[in-house]
Amino acid sequence: MASSVACLHAASSIQAQGFKGSSTGSPNKIGAFPLRMVLKGFSLDVPLPERKGNCPRSLNLHVVRSSSSQSSIADPIELPSNSNSTDSQKKSTEASLILIRHGESLWNEKNLFTGCVDVPLTKKGVEEAIEAGKRIRNIPIDMIYTSSLIRAQMTAMLVMSEHRRRKVPIIIHKETEEAQRWSQIYSEETKMQSIPVITAWQLNERMYGELQGLNKQETAELFGKEKVHEWRRSYDVPPPNGESLEMCAERSVTYFRDQIVPQLLAGKNVMIAAHGNSLRSIIMYLDKLTSQEVIKLELSTGIPMLYILKNGKFIRRGSPIAPSEAGVYAYSRSLALYRQKLDKLEEMFE
């Protein structure tokens, strides 16, 4: 554990408790104690080791991520601690990937099976999207992918309305030649200030076939409780005329691999706003989960999940903390530097 350290710039949101005086009652001594942030179903363990002499104002953090009831562990960050490294490292192979599951929809509220029926968000779902946006306002985003359903698209737009960078998300229209022509932008500078938003049915929620629109009670009466449970919780048994989780995973992971990974490899920071099943399929791919593990995986609504793609590997960074909460902000050096730049920019305009 001692060898893998990440040297991070101290960000203002880190409340360095016990830095100058710890709860143990011995001032000026920094003890090692683990910080534990527990989020809905996801926890982040950050032990603070003793302060080393030659590391100036930065904290040495050893970050290990574990999920609570799930069996996957992402690899710890391996960065050569190099005080002189600048942006060049970031430019090489690092990119952020944010996953956001949309919040409450009007049929969630009514307890109806939704699937691919295009139902919008409730007021609560709108709130959840705004809150999610606050959590990721400092993480760079160059491209957005979303499904063809309005609840995911609205979530993406509301999230971006909180973003600090002020680039404008623009939905790309390619459904017909006319749509493409009609939505053309004629200013290069404006294009540079845009974040393309690509809608893809492959990121849609799992299609629930003949259960769509039925409430959970009448479905149990119609088909029997065990059958319904099997459709909902198995990996490869589809409801009548619907998709199994396996089928959903196949089309969403294929899309992710073919369309989104190349963007990340090119260094683009990507956000995906989608649905429970399409996102857990992608997480299954990122974290190399088994089908048994993915069934138990629950991604919280409205809480963004951050991954870093580095040197071809996906590292789960957990869920960015809301601004009012104490905790670690910088998940990597480049993100810390990025945030510094944003801070400077804001100062200039104040």
Catalytic (active-site) positions: 102, 205
What region, left, alpha or beta, does residue 83 occupy, with left being phi > 0 and alpha being psi -120 to 50 degrees? Answer: alpha
Integer Rg of the chain from CA:
22
Cβ nearer to a copy of itself, comparing 202 with 319: 202
Q: Which long-range contacts does 62-68 make (Cβ < 8 Å, 24+ apart)?
A: 62/1, 62/4, 62/5, 62/6, 63/6, 63/328, 63/331, 65/316, 65/317, 65/318, 67/41, 67/42, 67/43, 68/38, 68/41, 68/42, 68/43
Cβ nearer to a copy of itself, comparing 9 with 164: 164
Query: Could you give the CA distance from residue 123 to residue 155 in angstroms, rounded to a whole number?
Result: 12
Among candidate residues 212, 97, 207, 204, the one with its CA nearest the CA of residue 153: 204
Among candidate residues 173, 94, 160, 110, the one with its CA nearest the CA of residue 133: 160
* Residue 154 in contact with a copy of itself, rule: CB under 8 A: yes
DSSP 117: S
Cβ nearer to a copy of itself, comparing 9 with 173: 173
* Selected range binding a copy of itself among 32-40, 41-49, 102-110, 273-281, rule: CB under 8 A: 102-110
Cβ nearer to a copy of itself, comparing 119 with 286: 119
Binding mask 40-79 for a copy of itself (x = CB under 8 A): ----------------------------------------
* Residue 210 in contact with a copy of itself, rule: CB under 8 A: yes
Q: Give the three-class secondary structure for 292.
A: helix
* Residue 171 in contact with a copy of itself, rule: CB under 8 A: yes
* Selected range binding a copy of itself among 70-78, 200-208, 224-232, 321-329, rule: CB under 8 A: 200-208
Binding mask 116-135 for a copy of itself (x = CB under 8 A): xxxxxxxx--x---------
Cβ nearer to a copy of itself, comparing 153 with 269: 153
Q: Give the three-class secondary structure for 314.
A: strand
Describe the crossing of helices 123-135 and 150-160 by its angle, rounded to 10 degrees.
40
* Residue 232 in contact with a copy of itself, rule: CB under 8 A: no
Q: How many residues touch a copy of itself (CB under 8 A)?
A: 52
Q: Whole-number minimum distance, CB 213 to a copy of itself, in Å?
A: 4
* Selected range binding a copy of itself among 34-42, 58-66, 96-104, 147-155, rule: CB under 8 A: 147-155
Q: Output the CA angle 263-268-270, nearest 5 degrees.
A: 85
Which residues of this protein are in contact with a copy of itself, per CB under 8 A? Answer: 106-107, 110, 112, 115-123, 126, 148-150, 153-154, 157-158, 160-161, 168-173, 175, 178-179, 182-187, 190-191, 197, 201, 204, 207, 209-215, 218
